[in-house]
Chains A and B, each alone.
Chain A
Amino acid sequence: MSDRLRHDRSYRGWLTGILIAAAILWAGSGSDVELSRLVEAGPRLAAFLGRMFPPDLSVWPEVQKGILETLRIAILGTFGSVAASCILGPLAADTISPKWINRPVRLLLALMRSIPLILIAMLMVGAVGLGPLPGILAITFHATGMLAKFYAEAIEDVNQTPVDALESAGATLLQKLRYGIWPQMAPTILRDTIFRFELNLRESLVLGVVGAGGIGFLIQTYVRSFQYEKTATVAIAIAIVILALEWINTIVRRMFR
Chain B
Amino acid sequence: MNTIVRTAISLADVNHHYPGVIQPSLTGFDFSVERGATIALIGPSGAGKSTLLALLDGRLRNWNGAVSVLGNSLDAHTAPSRTDRAKTGFIFQEFALVERASVARNVMNGRLGHTGPVASLFGRFSQLDYDAVDEAIEDAGIAELADKRVDSLSGGQRQRVAIARCLAQEPELLLADEPISNLDPLSAEKTLKLLTQIRQKRDMTLVFSSHQPDLAKRFADRIIGIRAGAMAFDTCASDFTAEMYQDVYGTEAVADNALRLVG
Q: Chain A residues in contact with chain B, CB under 8 A?
A: 159, 161-162, 164-172, 174-175, 178-180, 183-184, 186-187
**A164: chain B residues within 8 A (beta carbon):** 59, 92, 96
- Across the interface, A169 reaches (CB within 8 A) one of B79, B98, B112, namely B112
Report the separation of the CA atoms of residues A142 and B111 in the bound assembly, to the nearest whole angstrom.
43
* CB-CB under 8 A for A168 and B88, given A174-B117, A175-B121: yes
Expressed in whole angstroms, the minimum distance between the Cβ of A171 and any Cβ of chain B is 4
**B57: chain A residues within 8 A (beta carbon):** 168
Report the separation of the CA atoms of residues A248 and B169 in the bound assembly, to the nearest whole angstrom.
41
Expressed in whole angstroms, the minimum distance between the Cβ of A164 and any Cβ of chain B is 6
Q: Is the CB of A178 within 8 A of B121?
A: yes
B97, CB-defined interface residue at 8 Å: yes
B114, CB-defined interface residue at 8 Å: yes
Q: Is the CB of A172 within 8 A of B117?
A: yes
- The residue of chain B having its C-beta at the shortest distance from the C-beta of A257 within the complex is B100
* CB-CB under 8 A for A179 and B98, given A165-B92, A171-B112: yes
Q: Is the CB of B169 within 8 A of A170?
A: yes
**B94: chain A residues within 8 A (beta carbon):** 161
B208, CB-defined interface residue at 8 Å: no
Q: Is the CB of B85 within 8 A of A179?
A: no
Report the separation of the CA atoms of residues A174 and B120 in the bound assembly, to the nearest whole angstrom.
10
* CB-CB under 8 A for A167 and B85, given A175-B121, A178-B121, A179-B109: yes
Q: Is the CB of A169 within 8 A of B85?
A: yes
**B96: chain A residues within 8 A (beta carbon):** 161-162, 164-165
Q: Is the CB of B121 within 8 A of A183?
A: no
Expressed in whole angstroms, the minimum distance between the Cβ of B25 and any Cβ of chain A is 17
Q: Is the CB of B83 within 8 A of A187?
A: no
Among A167, A170, A172, chain B packs the most CB atoms within 10 A around the CB of A170
B13, CB-defined interface residue at 8 Å: no
Expressed in whole angstroms, the minimum distance between the Cβ of B76 and any Cβ of chain A is 17
B245, CB-defined interface residue at 8 Å: no
**A183: chain B residues within 8 A (beta carbon):** 98, 100-101, 105
- The residue of chain A having its C-beta at the shortest distance from the C-beta of B166 within the complex is A169
**A169: chain B residues within 8 A (beta carbon):** 85-86, 89, 109-113, 165-166, 169
Expressed in whole angstroms, the minimum distance between the Cβ of A126 and any Cβ of chain B is 44
- The residue of chain A having its C-beta at the shortest distance from the C-beta of B168 within the complex is A169
Expressed in whole angstroms, the minimum distance between the Cβ of A252 and any Cβ of chain B is 16
B201, CB-defined interface residue at 8 Å: no
Expressed in whole angstroms, the minimum distance between the Cβ of A19 and any Cβ of chain B is 41
**A184: chain B residues within 8 A (beta carbon):** 98-100
Q: Is the CB of B82 within 8 A of A172?
A: yes
B90, CB-defined interface residue at 8 Å: yes
Report the separation of the CA atoms of residues A161 and B165 in the bound assembly, to the nearest whole angstrom.
14
Q: Is the CB of A166 within 8 A of B112?
A: yes
* CB-CB under 8 A for A170 and B109, given A162-B98, A184-B98: no
Some 29 contacts from A to B, beta carbons below 8 A apart, are A161-B96, A162-B98, A165-B92, A165-B96, A166-B112, A167-B79, A168-B58, A168-B90, A169-B85, A169-B86, A169-B89, A169-B110, A169-B112, A169-B113, A170-B85, A170-B112, A170-B113, A171-B82, A171-B109, A171-B112, A172-B82, A172-B117, A175-B120, A178-B121, A179-B98, A179-B109, A183-B98, A183-B100, A184-B99
**A174: chain B residues within 8 A (beta carbon):** 117, 121
Report the separation of the CA atoms of residues A75 and B111 in the bound assembly, to the nearest whole angstrom.
39
Report the separation of the CA atoms of residues A178 and B101 in the bound assembly, to the nearest whole angstrom.
12
- The residue of chain A having its C-beta at the shortest distance from the C-beta of B93 within the complex is A161
Expressed in whole angstroms, the minimum distance between the Cβ of B68 and any Cβ of chain A is 18
B162-212 contacts to A, CB under 8 A, are 162, 165-166, 169
